[in-house]
Structure 1
Amino acid sequence: MPPSRLGQKIRTRRKHPDLDLTLDELAKAAGMSKSYLWELENRDTVRPSAEKLLTLASALGVTVEYLLEEEATQAEHVDKGFFRDYLQLEAADKEQLRRILRTFKKPG
């Protein structure tokens, strides 16, 4: 039985160059077992809870919607995941990120 669309998305995001996580590393980051993540990636019958999906999406830096939608673009949901993480930062850390962002803006 081929992996589900969810499993394909998890594997693709896990192996993306900006993460490049092993199953072990993702398991630790998400607080799940390696075998459970393997099941998610390789079996079509596993149906994770909303809580597990939220934890997994956070560890992968995407939204839950990206994991569940049939035709979701990874880049858009990575940006939304980044913004979600940004919102949870302390005010001083947010200001530091805003200063960093301004250095990337081109004049004019």
Structure 2
Amino acid sequence: MPDKFGKRIKELRTAKNMTLDDLAKATSSAKSYVWELENKNPPRPSAEKLSAIAKALDVTVDYLFGRDEQSVGDATDLAFFREYTGLPSETKEQLRQMAKILGAKKDK
């Protein structure tokens, strides 16, 4: 029976309508490797693969392992923020302006 790590990968993958092949391609892995991560206990992924899987699923590695009490929404926000911090300053400013516009629409 898969552990929390495997269950979370499968739940996130299926929620994104990704097949095992899709996630394997997105993480430069074999389909069988992704299947093993979802179904074998305990999983033994490398740090590089963990990072690639978390990025492909738009969450944090901590969320995948369930080491904290993050909700999937919180994990998605943290993953977005990490990606945001690496963007050029012009792109960050554009995103901030978009957030203001979207926030103003919500208030109406």
Q: TM-score range by the shorter chain?
A: 0.7 to 0.9
Mean CA deviation greater in 88-97 or 4-13: 88-97
Determine the structure 2 residue equivalent to 1:10.
9
Q: How far off its partner does 1:20 sit?
A: 2.0
Given the alignment, which residue of 14, 17, 22 partners 2:19?
22
Q: How far off its partner does 1:46 sit?
A: 2.7
Identity across the alignment (%): 44
Structure 1 segments of 4+ aligned residues over 6 angstroms from their partners: none
- Whose helix proportion is higher, 1 or 2? 2
Given the alignment, which residue of 80, 99, 103 partners 1:101?
99
The correspondence of residues 1-108 of structure 1 with structure 2, limited to 5 A, is 2-16=1-15, 19-69=16-66, 71-106=69-104
Q: Secondary structure at the match of 2:21?
A: helix
Return the letter of the residue paired with 2:66: E
Q: How far off its partner does 1:28 sit?
A: 1.2
What stretches of structure 2 of length at least 5 have no aligned partner?
none
Q: Secondary structure at the match of 2:18?
A: coil
How many Å separate the matches in 2 of 1:33 and 1:96?
Answer: 37
The C-alpha deviation readout for 1:3-60, integer Å capped at 9, x for no partner, is: 12111000111122xx321111111111111110011111114311222111111111
State the TM-score, normalizing by the size of structure 2.
Answer: 0.86
Q: CA RMSD in A?
A: 1.7
State the TM-score, normalizing by the size of structure 1.
Answer: 0.86
